[in-house]
Amino acid sequence: MILHGYFRSSAAWRVRIALQLKGLTVEHRYQHLRKGEQLSPEYLAINPQGLLPSLILDDGAVLTQSLAICEYLDEQYPEPSLRPSDPVARARVRAFAQVIACDIHPVQNLRVLKALQARGQTQDDANVWARDVIDGGFDALETLVTGQTGPFAFGDTPTLADICLVPQMANARRFGVDLRWPRLSAIEAACLALPAFADTHPDLQPDAE
C-alpha cells in the first residue's frame, strides 16, 4: 500500500495512527501542501479533490477521506478493533470522530484559510475563527466523554475517537488554544504513551520542516 500524506496534515496523521495500531507497513509519499503539490496533475489523477490523505491499495484501488480509510482498515484488518462491537457505543465513537472531522477540523484546513484571506480576511481574523470553532467543539467533546471509563475516550483501548482527537489537540496548540479540558488532555496523554500515536507525530515524519 502507498499512503500519500503531509507531515502536518491532521487527516493524514489519523491514517498513520490507524496503520500503526494495525501493525501495517506502507510506502509513504509526500505532497507538500504549502507548495501546492497536491494540485499537480499527477496527484489529481489519484485524488481529484486534491486533498490528503490518499491510500493506494495493493491492487491499485484508491481510497480517500481519512475516516473512510480508517474504517476500511478496521474491516480488512479487524484486530485490534477501532470501533466497539455494541451498536450504540459504535455510533457514539463515530459521532465523536465526526465532530472533529466534519465540524472542527475543516476550519483549520489550509484551503479554507487561504479562501478566507482571498476574501479580505486577515490571518488574525482566520485564526480567531479557528480558535472559536475549536473552543466550542472541544466543549462538546468534553461533555461527550464525561463519565466514560478507561484511559481512552471510550474505554480501555483506542478507537476512531482517539485517532481523531490527538491530531486535533495538536492543531489546537498550533492555533494558540488554551487547552482547558482535563478529560481530553488525559485522553491525549494516554494515547501519546503508545508508539502508534507518538511515533506518527508530525515532528517525527521524514518530510517534517
Three-class secondary structure assignment of 68-131: HHHHHHHHHCCCCCCCCCCHHHHHHHHHHHHHHHHHHHHHHCHHHHHHHHHCCCCHHHHHHHHH
pLDDT of residue 204: 98
State which of 80, 102, 123 marks the end of a domain. Answer: 80
pLDDT of residue 118: 86
User: Quick check: 201 pLDDT over 90?
Assistant: yes
- How many distinct structural domains can be found in the chain? 2
Query: Quick one: what percent of the chain has pLDDT higher than 90?
Result: 87
pLDDT in tens, 22-57: 999 999 999 999 999 999 999 999 999 999 999 999
pLDDT in tens, 51-91: 999 999 999 999 999 999 999 999 999 999 999 999 999 99
CB atoms under 10 Å from CB of 126, counted, come to 19
In this structure, are 104 and 57 located in the same domain? no
Q: Is residue 53 part of a domain?
A: yes
9: number of CA atoms within 13 Å, CB side? 23
Query: Which residues constitute the domain of residue 155?
Result: 87-196
d(CA 130, CA 108): 6
Q: Is residue 208 part of a domain?
A: no
In this structure, are 171 and 119 located in the same domain? yes
pLDDT of residue 108: 83
> Taking the mean position of all CA atoms in its chain, how far away is CA 190?
17
State which of 60, 80, 100 marks the end of a domain. Answer: 80
User: Quick check: 3 pLDDT over 90?
Assistant: yes
pLDDT of residue 95: 98
Residue 175, all three cell numbers? 492555533
- From 153, 171, 30, select the one nearest 94 (Cα to Cα): 153
Q: Is residue 45 part of a domain?
A: yes
Please give the average per-residue pLDDT across 128-135, as a whole number.
Answer: 93
pLDDT of residue 77: 98
Burial class (CB in 10 A: 0-12, 13-18, 19+), 20: middle
pLDDT of residue 113: 80
Q: Is residue 153 part of a domain?
A: yes
In this structure, are 59 and 92 located in the same domain? no
pLDDT of residue 87: 98
pLDDT in tens, 113-131: 888 888 888 888 888 989 9
pLDDT of residue 189: 98
Q: Is residue 192 part of a domain?
A: yes
pLDDT of residue 125: 85
Residues β-bridged to residue 5 = 30
Q: Is residue 207 part of a domain?
A: no
- Measured CA to CA in angstroms, residue 89 lies from 73, 135, 160, 189, 196 at distances of 19, 25, 12, 22, 23
In this structure, are 172 and 150 located in the same domain? yes
In this structure, are 187 and 122 located in the same domain? yes
Residues β-bridged to residue 56 = 2, 62
What confidence category does residue 176 fall into, taking pLDDT thresholds of 50, 70 and 90? very high
We report the CATH number of the domain holding residue 33 as 3.40.30.10
Please give the average per-residue pLDDT across 188-201, as a whole number.
Answer: 98
- Measured CA to CA in angstroms, residue 136 lies from 91, 115, 181 at distances of 21, 22, 11
Q: What is the residue-averaged pLDDT of the chain?
A: 96
| The amino acid at 96 | F
In this structure, are 119 and 76 located in the same domain? no
The number of residues making up the chain comes to 209
What confidence category does residue 109 fall into, taking pLDDT thresholds of 50, 70 and 90? confident
In this structure, are 53 and 128 located in the same domain? no
In this structure, are 28 and 128 located in the same domain? no
Q: Is residue 136 part of a domain?
A: yes
In this structure, are 106 and 50 located in the same domain? no
Residue 33, all three cell numbers? 501542501
What's the distance, Cα to Cα, between the start and end of the chain in Å? 25
